[in-house]
Amino acid sequence: MKISKEVITGFITVAAIGLLVAGVNFLKGNSFFGGDEVYYAYFSNSGQLAASSPVTLNGVTIGRVLTVENVPGGDPDRLVKISFNIQDEAIKIPKGSTVEIGSLDLFSKGIMLRFSTDISKGYYKTGDELPGVVASDMMAQVKSYADPISQKLQAMMSSVDKVVTSVSAFWDTTATSELEGSLKEVKIAIKKFGNAADQIEGLVVDERQKLSRILSNVETITINLKKSNENVKAIVGNVKQISDDLVTSDFKGVITNAKNTLASINGVLEQAKTGEGTLGKLLGDETLYNELVKTNQELQNLVNDIQVHPERYIHFSVLGAKTKGVPLTTKEEKKLRNLLDSLPN
C-alpha cells in the first residue's frame, strides 16, 4: 500500500505540533509529558520571583514555578499567588510545611520548601494551598549589615577631618615660632643639667675625705663592740639568771600562805559577827558593856568622895594619938595621892 505524500506531511505536521506543545510546556516548568503535582501559595509580595524559577528542597531542584499572579484588593498577606509543581512523584509534602521565597545564590531567586518533621497530620494533596513566607533577600541582608558600618565610617571620617584641621592650625607660623622657642628652652635646660652634674661631681671629690673618716669611725666602733662582746654576754647572762631566780621563786607558797591567813581572819570576823568567842561576846554582849559603864561610874563616885572627904579613908595620928581607919605606909600613901592627882576633875 502506497502512502501518499499528503498523509506523510500530515503526520509530520501533527508530530511537530505535539513536540512544540511539549517543548513549550517544558519551558514553562512542567514535565515534558505533563502530569506533575501542582500546589499554590500566597505571599505579601513576589520578592522578584519569576515563572520557571526552581523549586528546591534541601538545595536540590524538585520542581518549577508555574505562574506568579497579582491579587489586588485582598488580604495584605495574600497579594501574590504563586503556583508551582513537584516533578518527583515520590516526594510528598507533610502538612505544616512552608514555602519560602528567597535567594538561591547571588543572582537567582527561587522557592525553598521547609518540610515539617511531624508527619502525623498527613500530606498535602495536589491543588492544596501551602503557607508562604518571603525571606529577606541577600541585598537587604547586606544592607542591614552595611548601614551601621557606613554610619560609623562617616562619623570616623568627620573625626579625622577635625584632627587634620587641628594639625593644620597647629603648624602655622605662630605655632612654628612657639615650637622653636620651646626647643631653645629645652637646650638651655640641658645645659643647666650639665652644670649641675659638674657641681655634684666636685662636691663628691671634696667630701670624699670626710666620707673616708666616717667609714673609719664606723669601723672603730664595730671593733669596740666586738671587744665588748664578752662583757655584753656576761651582762645578758646575769639578767637571765635574775629572771630565772624570779621565775623559780616560791610565789605559789607565798600566795598560799596569804590565802590561808585571809581565810583565818575571815573566820575570826565571822565568829565575831555571830557572837562566838571572846571578841564576839565583847562586841555583841550589851550586859558586859552596861556593867563596865556602871563599874566605871561607881569608881568615879568613889574617887570624887575620896577627894572631897579624904579623912573618911585616911587618918593621921598627931602626938601619938591612936590611929583610926586603914593604916597606910608612906609608899602606899604616895601612890594613892599620885592616883588621885592623875584622875580628871
Q: Is 132 strand, coil or helix?
A: strand
Q: What pLDDT is attached to residue 14? A: 77
Cβ–Cβ < 8 Å for 79, 43:
yes
**C-alpha 216: how far from chain center:** 57
Give the separation between CA 53 and CA 61, rounded to whole angstroms. Answer: 10
For residue 330, report the phi and psi dihedrals to the nearest 5 degrees.
-60, -40
Residue 30 CB neighbours (<10 A):
20
Where do we find the cell 518540610?
Answer: 115
Distance CA 212, CA 233 (A): 31
Amino acid 176: pLDDT: 63
What pLDDT, on a 0 to 100 scale, did the predictor assign at position 138? 45
* 285-288-294-300 Cα dihedral, nearest 10 degrees: -120
What are the CB-based long-range contacts (under 8 Å, 24+) for 121-125?
A: 121/94, 121/95, 121/96, 122/94, 122/95, 123/92, 123/93, 123/94, 123/95, 124/39, 124/92, 124/93, 124/94, 124/95, 124/97
Q: Tens of pLDDT along the chain (345 residues)? A: 567 777 778 778 877 777 766 565 655 555 545 557 899 999 988 888 888 899 999 989 999 899 999 888 778 888 999 999 998 888 999 999 999 998 887 778 899 999 999 889 899 999 899 999 887 654 455 555 556 777 777 778 777 777 777 666 655 555 566 667 777 888 888 888 788 777 777 776 676 777 777 878 878 888 887 787 777 777 877 767 776 666 665 666 777 888 888 888 887 777 777 767 676 666 666 777 777 778 877 777 777 777 776 666 665 554 444 555 556 667 777 777 776 666 555
42: β partners:
81, 131
For residue 111, what are the contacts with CB-CB under 8 A and spacing of at least 6? 49, 53, 54, 55, 56, 65, 82, 84, 99, 100, 101
pLDDT given at position 319: 46
- CA nearest neighbour of 93 among 136, 127, 42, 49: 127
SS3 107: coil
Contact 82, 111 (CB under 8 A): yes
- pLDDT (0 to 100) of residue 130: 92
